[in-house]
């Protein structure tokens, strides 16, 4: 099936078939998700976007600027949406320096098997925005699908033409 993949244990060579490309949403938390969407539509959009992009341990490293660009929201709107989600206990935000690490409450939604919920250590998917980056010295595939802001597009266009 398209939503299944094989995982090979490097030590034993054992092959396990697992689901991929899905988010498990707990039935008893659906009313909470509906409530969040009714109270703050932007918070609902942020939560669903995080469901889509979080890793298998419910975490994602993304700036509020990149999150806003991806959803067509201002950074202020994203800030208020994230605050709403934190108040509803749907989201936790961890800091590593000035970096935000968003973790969706695993009692609401989950992307992996139940065994992984017990562990505090997690790998995080990192979502970066082109508009936040300096012009790279060489071509990479690291920039996500977010579109640069119009201001950034103009700056990029001007730098390509040799003007400032």
Ranking 50-54, 103-107, 150-154 by mean pLDDT, the lowest is 150-154
- This prediction has a pTM of 0.66
All domains in the chain, ordered by first residue: 24-132+139-161 (1.10.10.10)
Tell me: the pLDDT tens digits for 29-79? 999 999 999 999 999 999 999 999 888 778 888 888 889 999 999 999 999
Distances (CA, A) of 125 to 9, 31, 51, 69, 121: 22, 28, 12, 17, 13
């Amino acid at each position: 099936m398209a939503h299944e993949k094989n995982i090979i244990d490097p030590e034993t060579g054992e092959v396990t078939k697992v689901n991929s490309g899905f988010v498990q949403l707990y039935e008893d938390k659906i009313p909470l998700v509906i409530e969040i969407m009714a109270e703050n539509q932007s918070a609902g959009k942020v939560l669903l976007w995080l469901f889509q992009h979080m890793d298998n341990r419910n975490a994602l490293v993304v700036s509020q600027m990149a999150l806003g660009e991806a959803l067509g929201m201002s950074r202020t709107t994203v800030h208020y949406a994230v605050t709403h989600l934190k108040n509803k206990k749907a989201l936790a935000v961890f800091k590593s320096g000035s970096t935000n690490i968003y973790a969706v409450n695993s009692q609401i939604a989950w992307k992996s098997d139940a065994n992984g919920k017990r562990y505090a250590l997690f790998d995080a998917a990192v979502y970066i925005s082109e508009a936040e980056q300096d012009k790279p010295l060489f071509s990479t595939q690291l920039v996500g699908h977010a579109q640069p802001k119009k201001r950034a597009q103009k700056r990029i266009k001007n730098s390509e033409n040799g003007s400032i």
